[in-house]
Amino acid sequence: MTVVDPASAEERRRSDRRTNRRRGAGARRMIDTTVPSPCIQICQIDKARNQCTGCKRTIDEIRDWMIMTADEKRSVLAALDDR
């Protein structure tokens, strides 16, 4: 007979639910291609400003660009004007 720690079993169930949610959300979400990327192929991160020297986006914005909605992308583009 194996004794299972209830706390670790619950954590395993939570982890499985998070993984399934991520997979499910990604499978249903359509990638928006209506807003072009501001990337100009000069990809260097300025660590002092924590942004790309080419397009001025942060690492998070660059990473998330493909999964952002059109409205989110337009918001990032508007913010780039002030950087």
Reported as a single tens digit per residue, the pLDDT across 7-17 is 677 777 777 77
pLDDT digits (tens, 9 = 90+) for 41-57: 999 999 999 999 999 99
Nearest to 30 by CA among 70, 82, 59: 70
Which one is predicted more confidently, 24 or 18? 18
Span 33-40, average pLDDT: 96
Specify the pLDDT at position 60.
97
Specify the pLDDT at position 39.
97
Rounded Cα distance between 58 and 45, Å, is 8
